Amino acid sequence: MHEASNLVLERRFSSAIAEVHAKLLTGPWQVSILTTPQLRRYRNRGFQHGWRLVIPHGEGTLDFDVLVTEHFPHQPPRISLATLQRFLVWPHVEEDGVLCLLSSEATINSARPGEVTLSLLQDALQLVLESEIGNNQQDFRNEFTTYWGRKCPEQCIPVWSLLSPDQESRLIPFWSGKEFCLIGESTEQLEHWLNNATKKRISGSREYRQGILLPLPQLPCPKDFPKNGRDLIACIEQSNAKHLIESIHQEGLEGYLAVLAGKTPTGTAFGGVIARVQEKLRYPAERRGGSIIDGFRPGKAPKEVVQSQIKSSLSISLTTVERADALWIHGRGSDPKVKTLQSSTIAILGCGSIGSHLAFLLAEAGVGKLVLCDPEPLKWANVGRHALASDSVGTSKAKSLATTLKNSYPSSVGFDGYCKTWEGLASSMPEKLLTCDLLIAATGNWTTEASLNAWRKTADFRQPLLYCWAEAFAAAGHAIAIFPDDGCLQCGFSPLGLPKLSVTSWSEKTILQEAGCDTSFQPYGPIALSHIVSLAAELALDCLLGSVCESTERIWCGNKRLAKDNGGTWSEEWKSLVGDREQGSFTQELPWVPDKNCLECSFI
């Protein structure tokens, strides 16, 4: 089977090559087939076949190579500047001359390899013409980060940036480690990040040094990237930061990090410049026992002399700067909602199979602060459907979840875990709950959630409260956001805690007891559950972002087979509500209607 399908691919390859060859012979150029040594010039590209085209161009000729891999015609051919070195001189030219003509998402018609090749040749020619008259230099600026990276030495230590992407020159602190450097707005911000990222093997001291941010009116093209200290000083002058650099260029300076910044169509981009001061100027004069500036006693050289000596002795190297700030991570810098989410706090009461995954989703979506509360340790039995894994067995679910999330999103504002019941947290640290923008109850326990429902009134908690739970086998699930003075949880439940509306009904008892202990559990799998987690997370965000402002219930009705295979069916009240949507797999939104006779609502 394998050999037969290989043979089909080989035939497809050969016939595509023949088709391209025939097409190329019709063009206004000379065609020859590339020899193996000529193909070998393109190292690590895997090109199997190629043609050299010599094209009349202006006064002379232009050489293109047309190159294909074994995956041709499913992968498009590549066109290369065969004899011209234009890497970082023209945009879209790689180091070996191969042109980037198609974006990575582009699709091609593999049934017409000849036409695809001719059309790419057209594009290549167009690129050459525009590059020759300098019409496309803006492309360099638009993809600044890519081209800057090409100029950085392979071994450079990357810089991760927590800077806010605004456009003001300023002094910025940075921390430098063995594997990466970190820059941010304040030493507190860097400290917070490093404390969160405990799994990053951060070695070295927590010493912070001074750097400088240089926003430029226009990002440079590769030919104008700084090559020496003089070029860096020119950048500093361009960004009106001369006054700042004077406070950095002091006697004894070893070096610093300068970060160039500028706008691109996809947000602010950064490039790093590591500046080093010549060794003989580095040490304070008194430590060297002599003057570092010729003709002056130690420490007595006039400021201007020190400044000009440092300026003329600077050497530089370039390094990549990757944005690691929350606005970039959670919305690529272009989602205005992330700002609101970053400043929001959600408490999750119950960090089990629903709560733990909810915490992950909300943190991933950009919620800046989470208060995680659960009195239980993680057990082996939990691992199959919990967001934490076996390395957390035996530890507090809430605390380990907070630690894991801090490591995953070290730029977040704050994830705190409390190994307590929610009642314990409410009595010992009530402000932790009262200052939240949203409380989520995911304990899966009626008694606990009924007392939370009562607490809301007595504590006068004025933010929405979201309850979520799964029906048996996670065949259906509920997320209910209840706003103050707009009904309560009890309104939709019997005094014994049975929901007035269930999606499924079961002929047998569905809650199981674990052998040898008094813990009961709902039998359901992680995949069925994921729909309910998403349902709750989506409603939580809608509450935070103001698109849901009154008490609302969202119900996930799972695939019918899941209920049926486990001995369940749709309940009569559900069927009368949704009609003939027998197959399931949909969400239904309903208003959460206050019950006039609700004892809890009329209480007090």
Under the binding rule (CB under 5 A), the answer on residue 329 touching Zn ion is no
Cβ closer to Zn ion: 140 or 592?
592
CB of 370 to Zn ion, least distance (A): 28
Rounded to whole angstroms, the Cα distance separating 489 from 496 reads 13
604 in Cβ contact with 457 (< 8 Å): yes
Cβ closer to Zn ion: 512 or 593?
593
Neighbouring C-alpha atoms within 13 Å toward the C-beta of 172: 30
**Collapsing DSSP states into helix, strand and coil, what is residue 232?**
helix
Under the binding rule (CB under 5 A), the answer on residue 309 touching Zn ion is no
Rounded to whole angstroms, the Cα distance separating 444 from 237 reads 62
404 in Cβ contact with 187 (< 8 Å): no
CB of 484 to Zn ion, least distance (A): 12
Cβ closer to Zn ion: 474 or 601?
601
Residue 43's Cβ-count burial label (10 Å; 0-12, 13-18, 19+) is exposed
Cβ closer to Zn ion: 316 or 488?
488
Strands 438-441 and 465-470: parallel
CB of 483 to Zn ion, least distance (A): 12
User: Interior CA angle at 364 toward 546 and 439, to 5°?
Assistant: 50
Under the binding rule (CB under 5 A), the answer on residue 502 touching Zn ion is no
Q: Which of 336, 339, 151 is nearest to 260 (CA)?
A: 151
**Residues between 41 and 100 that touch Zn ion (CB under 5 A):** none
CB of 505 to Zn ion, least distance (A): 24
Under the binding rule (CB under 5 A), the answer on residue 449 touching Zn ion is no
492 in Cβ contact with 500 (< 8 Å): yes
Contact segment (CB under 5 A) with Zn ion among 35-43, 323-331, 398-406, 593-601 equals: 593-601
CB of 453 to Zn ion, least distance (A): 8
Contact segment (CB under 5 A) with Zn ion among 202-210, 387-395, 483-491, 516-524 equals: 483-491
Quick one: CA dihedral 293, 296, 297, 301, positive or negative? Answer: negative
Phi, psi of 466 (to 5 degrees): -115, 125
Under the binding rule (CB under 5 A), the answer on residue 486 touching Zn ion is no
CB of 603 to Zn ion, least distance (A): 9
Contact segment (CB under 5 A) with Zn ion among 288-296, 312-320, 488-496, 508-516 equals: 488-496
Cβ closer to Zn ion: 319 or 490?
490
CB of 464 to Zn ion, least distance (A): 15
Under the binding rule (CB under 5 A), the answer on residue 600 touching Zn ion is yes
Under the binding rule (CB under 5 A), the answer on residue 251 touching Zn ion is no
Neighbouring C-alpha atoms within 13 Å toward the C-beta of 439: 27
CB of 601 to Zn ion, least distance (A): 3
**Collapsing DSSP states into helix, strand and coil, what is residue 432?**
helix
Under the binding rule (CB under 5 A), the answer on residue 488 touching Zn ion is yes
575 in Cβ contact with 560 (< 8 Å): no
CA-to-CA dists, residue 525 to 159, 520, 532, 534, angstroms = 42, 15, 12, 15
CB of 556 to Zn ion, least distance (A): 23
Residue holding tokens 């970039």? 328
CB of 600 to Zn ion, least distance (A): 5
Under the binding rule (CB under 5 A), the answer on residue 598 touching Zn ion is yes
Cβ closer to Zn ion: 44 or 597?
597
CB of 494 to Zn ion, least distance (A): 12
- By CB under 5 A, the count of residues binding Zn ion is 6
What's the gap between Cα 514 and its chain centre? 39
Cβ closer to Zn ion: 401 or 452?
452
Under the binding rule (CB under 5 A), the answer on residue 529 touching Zn ion is no
CB of 550 to Zn ion, least distance (A): 14
The pair of three-digit structure tokens given for residue 447, joined into one six-digit string: 């008694």
Residues 6 or more apart whose Cβ sits within 8 Å of residue 598: 487, 488, 490, 491
396 in Cβ contact with 372 (< 8 Å): no
Contact segment (CB under 5 A) with Zn ion among 2-10, 96-104, 439-447, 592-600 equals: 592-600
Contact segment (CB under 5 A) with Zn ion among 215-223, 347-355, 482-490, 578-586 equals: 482-490
Cβ closer to Zn ion: 392 or 490?
490
Taking each helix axis as running N to C, give the angle between helix 229-238 and helix 303-313, from 0 to 180 degrees, rounded to the nearest 10.
120
Cβ closer to Zn ion: 71 or 500?
500
For the chain, report the end-to-end CA distance as a whole number of angstroms.
76
Q: Which of 427, 528, 422 is nearest to 472 (CA)?
A: 528
CB of 257 to Zn ion, least distance (A): 59
Q: Which of 258, 89, 279 is nearest to 163 (CA)?
A: 258
Contact segment (CB under 5 A) with Zn ion among 61-69, 395-403, 566-574, 595-603 equals: 595-603
CB of 452 to Zn ion, least distance (A): 13
Under the binding rule (CB under 5 A), the answer on residue 601 touching Zn ion is yes
Strands 552-559 and 315-323: unpaired
Residue holding tokens 């065949």? 475
Cβ closer to Zn ion: 29 or 592?
592
Under the binding rule (CB under 5 A), the answer on residue 157 touching Zn ion is no
Under the binding rule (CB under 5 A), the answer on residue 491 touching Zn ion is yes
Cβ closer to Zn ion: 129 or 593?
593
Rounded to whole angstroms, the Cα distance separating 469 from 472 reads 10
Binding-site member from 490, 551, 552, 571 for Zn ion (CB under 5 A): 490
Cβ closer to Zn ion: 2 or 596?
596
438 in Cβ contact with 466 (< 8 Å): yes
Contact segment (CB under 5 A) with Zn ion among 2-10, 56-64, 380-388, 491-499 equals: 491-499
| E strand or H helix at 340 | helix 337-342
* List of residues contacting Zn ion (CB under 5 A): 488, 490-491, 598, 600-601
